[in-house]
Chain A
Amino acid sequence: MLEKKPVLFMLLATAAILVGTIITMAMPFLWVNTDADRIETVTPYTPIQQEGRDIYIREGCNNCHTQTVRPLVAEVLRYGDYSKSGEFVYDRPFLWGSRRTGPDLARLGGKYPDAWHYKHMESPRSMVPQTNMPDYPWLNDTALDPESIRNKMETLGFPYTEEQIKELNGKTEMDAMVAYLQKLGSDIPWRKVAETTIVGDLTNPFPGDASAIAAGKDVYSSNCAACHGDNLEGMIGPALTDMGMEDADLYQVIHSGIPDGGMPGFSNLGSTKLWQLVNFINAEK
């Protein structure tokens, strides 16, 4: 019987393995990456972005960073709009990851100005003192090889122009990495959609309150200092001393950011922390 016929046994075992395989692994191909989940605005990577992606893979950034936002309240608040299948059609391989030692990067594009990334990649601890992200300064030292990138674009079948290949000359791996990071998750216009408007009138709930100012200092250190300097002296963003903004205007700027200028919005800090910030900044002038 079966117990004595190894070949028959192996055939049956293969059949048992294939049932679940066909249903849960093969069948999804009928729906995924078809017209059913296509998103028109999603575009393939440009040569420099694709090269940045390959460097991201080479350095194993995916061992600390995920790239998919789940449709859960806290997660959408923290990272941005949840990920959709159609956004990943050009991702070979996928880079969703499995562990968030660092934050999710699926919606990173446009969150920070380029200058922030250059500085952060070179030395993360200079921006975020307690991070455990390694320094990647050597990315600045290696020039890109346009011909090998052209070859990659051909292999992938992605469109490119001679112009784009020529532009790679003189660029470094760091340039490619930043170009890739700025593309992440920005193919759908979620930032515009997610812009929240402030309802109600803006009156400072604790004007001049010393404890609010002290609390504001802490919020500032963990959220703003990387760009505006430890003492508001300015760095990537301008100095915040002597601005002479009204409380309400200042609140508005911090809440919604200045997207085109590289100032992220901080609406997810909540109104209490935002007012603490306002009081802190305006007390420093």
Chain B
Amino acid sequence: MENPSYNTDIVRSFVTWSLVWGLVAVLVGVIVSFQMINPDLNFGPYLTFGRLRPIHTNAGIYGWGVGTIFATFLYMVQRLCKQPLWSDKLAKFQLWFFNATIIASAVTLLLGYTTSKEYHEMEWPIDIMVVILWVVFAVNIIMTIINRKEEQMYISLWYMMAALIGVAILYLVNAAAVPASLFKSYSAYAGTNDANVHWWFGHNAVAMALTAPPLAMFYYFLPKSTGVPIYSHRLSIIAFWSLIFMYLWTGAHHLLWTPVPDWVQTLAMAFSIMLIAPSWGSVINGYLSMNGQWHQMKENYLVKFLILGITFYGLQTLQGPMQSIRSFSAFIHYTDWVPAHIHMGTMGWVSMISYACIYYLVTRISGRDLYSVPLANLHFWLALVGQLLWTVPLWVAGVLQAGMWNAMNEDGSLTYTFMETMVEMYPFWWARGIAGVIFMIGVLIFIYNIYMTVRKKESAPSTATAEGRA
């Protein structure tokens, strides 16, 4: 059973709330995807596409993504340090404040209080809430690490600490603004500078919130699920330093061909390509950790989620560098190709890993068997099919539209008007809407399974659950 001094209640609460916000994110995602097919689904002024889309992205990143980060980090840090949480009170405050922040974000975004900067739409009062939240979280984790009983710091702790520092720097710099009123501010930077600062933030939010934390989770929960250690701790160390060094140079790959200085774009392109190495360092480490254990892919549902997750991470970090090449960017930038890239990352990588972590945490903390392993397998397939049916058609759509935008007649005039290219997207958008529904059904089944597991009356603690084996 549990070591009583570890605080697992807080982990359980964060799991619960990240599930709530995860469901909200997916639900709003489905709504906006149908709004793109039928504009009659816009109910102005509050429920229009322009206001709902940021709620989808922010609920996804800050509610589901960061909520899961909070849950898993608070769990991992105690285990890896063999040390209870530094402050339970602070953690409780963090939980309360986290939900207050997410709710405040959703309400203000609906009301139209927005900075318009992608993934940083919340206005300045909420920025302040986010900063407080992050400081509280970081202090608790760092103090626990400093007080730790286990001398060795496992690689997951490295990624956790890097994420804590990285997010803090990024968020603060990009948030700089001059308030004009309670819910309206103007960026401290103008035009091209603002764009460059923003995408330095934007891309590294990907690094520090959607890459480093899931890697920390992967490195922890994979060995815990399989029962064998990772292939090489030293390889993970090399990959770590290279990754956090290189990521910060690449923001301008979102701004290729724009007025941002050329040399910044060129550096971004070069470093993006070099990023393949440290990214694949982790992928290969993950695969080699499965040596002699591949049979677990069949027997252990947790391993399925984890290995598929790291596989999509590998694909993502090949596709990303490709998109960072000027000539390729000229073609696919601004098309549906990019949302498809995003969703392989969020639905295929971040969510797959998070699902495994949550299954593990819930069974572990409650000391019970999962309510239904077949349902978990069904969830796996719905998540996988949902994601692929989302991304593959939209890659095709992106290439199709890019081709039409660039098509020229012999006399040097354009072949298609904008609308002629845009109406070609509708069938693909239908596929995406349906894919979203499939993915959402998976999430509902997931939540049901978790709920039935913790609800179950006869609590027969079992050792099999510990390793997630069915």
Contact = CB atoms under 8 A, between A and B. Distances in A.
Direct contact of A and B (CB under 8 A): yes
Interface of A: 3-4, 6-7, 9-10, 13-14, 16-21, 23-25, 28-29, 31-33, 37, 54, 57-64, 66, 68, 70-75, 77-78, 83-85, 87-96, 98-103, 124-125, 128, 130-138, 148, 151-152, 155-156, 222-223, 267-273
Given A16-B245, A21-B248, A94 B195 contact: yes
A144 to B, nearest CB: 14
Interface string B156-175: 01100110011001000100
Given A13-B244, A269-B414, 6 more contacts: A20-B247, A32-B260, A72-B330, A88-B195, A101-B422, A138-B44
A92 B422 CA distance: 30
Given A3-B152, A74-B414, A28 B261 contact: yes
A128 B151 CA distance: 67
A4 to B, nearest CB: 6
B256 to A, nearest CB: 8
Nearest to B420: A222
A83 B117 contact: no
24 contacts: A3-B153, A13-B161, A17-B162, A17-B169, A24-B200, A24-B249, A25-B248, A37-B192, A37-B259, A62-B116, A66-B334, A70-B330, A85-B191, A88-B195, A94-B198, A130-B422, A131-B419, A132-B37, A134-B49, A156-B180, A156-B186, A267-B413, A269-B413, A272-B411
A216 to B, nearest CB: 14
A200 to B, nearest CB: 12
B469 interface: no
B39 A125 contact: yes
A96 B195 contact: yes
Contact of A130 (B44, B330, B333, B419): B419
Interface stretch (B264-272, B289-297, B381-389, B445-453): B264-272
A99 B334 contact: yes
B193 A59 contact: no
A19 B245 contact: yes
B187 A63 contact: no
Interface in B9-39: 35-39
Contact of A32 (B114, B193, B267): B193
Contacts of B267: 23-24
B193 A151 contact: no
Interface string B107-149: 0000011111110000000000000000000000010011000
A134 B42 contact: yes
Given A19-B248, A59-B48, A92-B186, A29 B161 contact: no
Contacts of A151: 180-181
A95 B116 contact: yes
A99 B178 contact: no
A21 B191 CA distance: 19
B417 interface: yes
Given A28-B261, A92-B187, A132-B37, A271 B244 contact: no
A75 B118 CA distance: 24
B44 A135 contact: yes
